[in-house]
Amino acid sequence: EADIYQTPRYLVIGTGKKITLECSQTMGHDKMYWYQQDPGMELHLIHYSYGVNSTEKGDLSSESTVSRIRTEHFPLTLESARPSHTSQYLCASSESRPPYEQYFGPGTRLTVT
């Protein structure tokens, strides 16, 4: 079944640790996105990708980095986690043609202690 997956769903980690949030989609979509969202608050785009080997920074500055080596995979990495990184991270994907709707993963809730 075509879908978009994120792992882990929940992560509690200490300050200074390196973390990678995984995102995979089986829909063959060219575009993928990472959003940061505090609970019950608005979405902030932090990274996006048009396709393999393309990545762009979003509207909200983030210390995280992303890579797109395979179409279906768009991991997000924090080299040194800090308490200010505590948030929910949502991954999404979409086609490059209309109607452009985005499909969202279940999210990763990150807590940095």
Interface residue list for another protein (CB under 8 A) = 31, 33, 40-43, 45, 48, 50, 56, 58, 90, 92, 98-107
Closest to another protein by CB, 76 vs 90, is 90
3-state DSSP assignment of residue 11: strand
Closest to another protein by CB, 72 vs 95, is 95
Q: What are phi and psi of 84, to 5 degrees?
A: -70, -15
In the beta sheet, which residues pair with residue 22?
7
Count of alpha carbons within 13 angstroms of residue 29, beta-carbon side: 29
Min dist CB 106 to another protein, Å, is 5
Closest to another protein by CB, 78 vs 105, is 105
Are β-strands 10-13 and 108-112 bridged in parallel, bridged antiparallel, or unpaired?
parallel
Min dist CB 18 to another protein, Å, is 27
